[in-house]
Amino acid sequence: MIRAFFLSLAQLGDPAIRRVLFRSLAVTLALFAGAGIALWWGVRAALSGWLGAQAGEWSAALIVVVELLAFWLAFRAVAVAVVGLFADDIVAAVEARHYPDRLASARPVPFARGVAMGLGSAGRVIAINLILLPLYIVLLATGVGTAAAFLVVNGWLLARDLGDMVAARHMDRAAMRRWRKATGPARFLLGLAAAALFVVPGVNLLAPVLGASMATHFFHMRRKA
């Protein structure tokens, strides 16, 4: 996993990787900007209707808290879903440099399937993290429990999402299911490493692209073993 990380980090300067990074960041930030504006006006209107004139005294602070919480919960889901749209470009760039023989036999993932995988990933992340939100809040009292639970849960989710981005180019659905079962514990470590990148400020902007690149190395290294 360490080798996969440093190989991925070294390839961030690759023009194909840079293009995906800039596109995915632009789309992700645009989505959050639009959602943030809509959430601001929506919550403000709801509070005004509920509390009347009293809403103005503390509505801004409440809206900021709600938006920060929503950003924390949704960033990983939206970022991975968006980068999933361009995942084929990342995987192809890594395969072209490190696994040219595998690139020759790869089948590009159809756009519709890529969209479906991205939406499925986002839906799972948002649903499961919302279900576990009360647990995250309770674990705040422990100091580190919330972060640990978030890493474990999202590492487990990312293990599937990132692995599927690569496996879909080389396997049919039945083979992918068998591969998931055979590589479960090792893929969890991949997911955990990617989830850790999402909690580091600044690095989290690179995390989806690094994660997809690491998953490519993981897939091909495991198939060679």
C-beta separation of 166 from 223 below 8 A: no
Do 217 and 7 form a contact (C-beta atoms < 8 A)? yes
pLDDT at 7: 93
pLDDT reported for residue 50: 62
Residues 6 or more apart whose CB falls under 8 angstroms from that of 197 comprise 203, 204, 206, 207, 210, 211
Predicted local distance difference test score (pLDDT) of residue 95: 94
Question: What are the per-10-residue average pLDDT scores of the chain (225 residues)?
Answer: 89 90 86 75 66 56 68 75 84 93 88 84 86 88 86 90 90 89 90 89 87 94 75
- Look at residue 23 and give its three-state secondary structure: helix
| DSSP character string of 108-153 | PPPHHHHHHHHHHHHHHHHHHHHHTHHHHHHHGGGSSHHHHHHHHH
In sign, the C-alpha dihedral spanning 137, 185, 77, 176 is: negative
Quote the pTM value: 0.82
